[in-house]
C-alpha cells in the first residue's frame, strides 16, 4: 500500500534553506534509485510525519512530472527535539521486490515461570514494494523453557520470503531467574553489625 502525498521540487540547498523549509511546515527530501539522477523535493511535514510512523512506508509522490512510488529508506531527526530534518526516498516500481527489515512483535504469554526473550527485533524479508507488512507476529502462548523459535518458524504474509538464514534465532524461552533470598547467615551478620554499632555507641557515651 502506498500513501499519496504532494511533493514540490526544490532548488535551494544547505542548512539555511532546510531551516526555511521546516519553518513553513515542509521537510526536505531526496529521491533516488533505478539509475536516475537524484531529485530534490519537499514534503508537507505533518502529513509526512503521520505516514512514516509505520516502518518501511511507501509514498506515492505527486510530482509536477507525474506520480512516483518511493520507499522511505532513511529518516534524519534532530536528536533533541525529534523533529524530522530530512528524508531519503528510494524509487520503487509496482511488482518490484525489495528487501526490508520488518519489526517482530510477540503475542501471548509463555508458560508460567518462564520469560520469552526477543533475540531478533526485525527480520529481513524480500517482498513486493507495495505489499510490505508492518510487523511480523510471533505467538509464544504456553511456550515452555528451552523453546526456540527460528526465522523458519515465523508465519510470513503471502508473497513474502525470508532474506536471512532460516535458522536465525528469533525468540528464546527460558525459566525466569529466581529472586535472591536472604540466607540465615546474612541475617546473622546483619544482626551482629547492629549489636556492634549499639555497643560502640554505648562506649562512646
Whether residue 178 has pLDDT greater than 80: no
Predicted confidence band at 21 (pLDDT cuts at 50, 70, 90)?
A: confident
Q: What is the pLDDT of residue 205?
A: 44
- Residue pLDDT, tens place only, 97-124: 999 999 999 999 999 999 999 999 999 9
pTM: predicted TM-score of the whole model, two decimal places = 0.77
Handedness of CA 59, 61, 67, 72 (dihedral sign): negative
* Bridging pattern class, strands 58-63 and 3-6: parallel
* Topology adopted by domain 3-93: Ribosomal Protein L25; Chain P (2.40.240)
DSSP element (H, E) containing 47? helix 45-51
Q: What is the pLDDT of residue 196?
A: 54
Q: What is the pLDDT of residue 181?
A: 66
Domain ranges of the chain: 3-93, 98-175
Dihedrals phi, psi of 50, to nearest 5 degrees: -65, -40
**Cα separations (Å) of 158 from 1, 62, 95, 132, 166?**
14, 29, 14, 10, 17
In CATH, which of 3.40.50.10260, 2.170.120.20, 2.60.40.10, 3.40.605.10 is domain 98-175? 2.170.120.20
Amino acid at each position: 500500500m502506498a500513501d499519496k502525498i504532494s511533493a514540490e521540487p526544490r532548488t535551494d540547498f544547505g542548512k539555511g534553506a532546510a531551516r526555511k523549509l521546516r519553518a513553513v511546515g515542509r521537510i526536505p527530501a531526496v529521491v533516488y534509485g533505478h539509475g536516475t539522477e537524484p531529485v530534490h523535493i519537499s514534503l508537507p511535514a505533518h502529513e509526512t510525519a503521520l505516514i512514516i510512523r509505520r516502518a518501511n512506508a511507501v509514498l506515492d509522490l505527486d510530482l509536477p512530472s507525474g506520480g512516483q512510488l518511493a520507499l522511505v529508506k532513511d529518516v534524519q531527526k534532530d536528536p533533541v527535539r525529534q523533529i524530522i530534518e530530512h528524508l531519503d526516498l528510494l524509487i520503487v516500481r509496482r511488482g518490484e521486490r525489495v528487501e526490508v527489515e520488518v519489526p517482530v512483535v510477540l503475542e501471548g504469554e509463555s508458560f508460567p515461570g518462564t520469560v520469552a526473550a526477543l533475540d531478533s527485533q526485525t527480520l529481513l524479508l524480500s517482498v513486493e514494494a507495495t505489499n510490505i507488512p508492518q510487523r511480523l507476529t510471533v505467538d509464544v502462548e504456553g511456550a515452555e523453557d528451552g523453546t526456540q523459535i527460528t526465522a523458519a518458524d515465523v508465519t510470513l504474509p503471502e508473497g513474502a520470503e525470508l532474506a536471512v538464514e532460516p535458522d536465525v534465532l528469533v525468540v528464546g524461552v527460558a525459566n525466569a531467574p529466581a529472586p535472591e533470598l536472604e540466607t540465615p547467615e546474612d541475617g546473622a551478620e546483619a544482626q551482629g553489625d547492629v549489636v556492634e554499632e549499639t555497643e560502640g555507641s554505648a562506649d562512646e557515651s
